[in-house]
Amino acid sequence: MPKHEILSEEEKKELLERLKIQEKQLPKILDSDPVIKKINAKAGDVIKITRNSPTAGKSIYYRLVISK
């Protein structure tokens, strides 16, 4: 399981500014997802996922938690 962590408000703001996007343009993840339950994230949080990759070493992905 790759590392999932919740971004703080400032980090989230910084990310959205950096990408010049709105929250809803981020990839989504349901709050019913086991990993979201585990790290106790709420709808509206942005999750930072750090994955290992054979070609890129580490790759970072962000997903917005939403509720159904």
Distance CA 68, CA 15 (A): 24
State which of residues 8, 25, 32, 50 lies at the interface with other proteins (CB under 8 A). Answer: 25
Give ∠ CA 18-24-7 in degrees, rounded to 5.
Answer: 55
Name the residue nearer to other proteins (CB basis): 1 or 56. 56
Which residue(s) pair with 65 in the sheet? 29
String of contacts with other proteins for each residue 26-65, x by CB under 8 A: xx-----------------------x-xxxx--xxxx---
| 53 CA to centre of own chain | 18
Residue ranges in contact with other proteins by CB under 8 A: 19-21, 24-27, 51, 53-56, 59-62
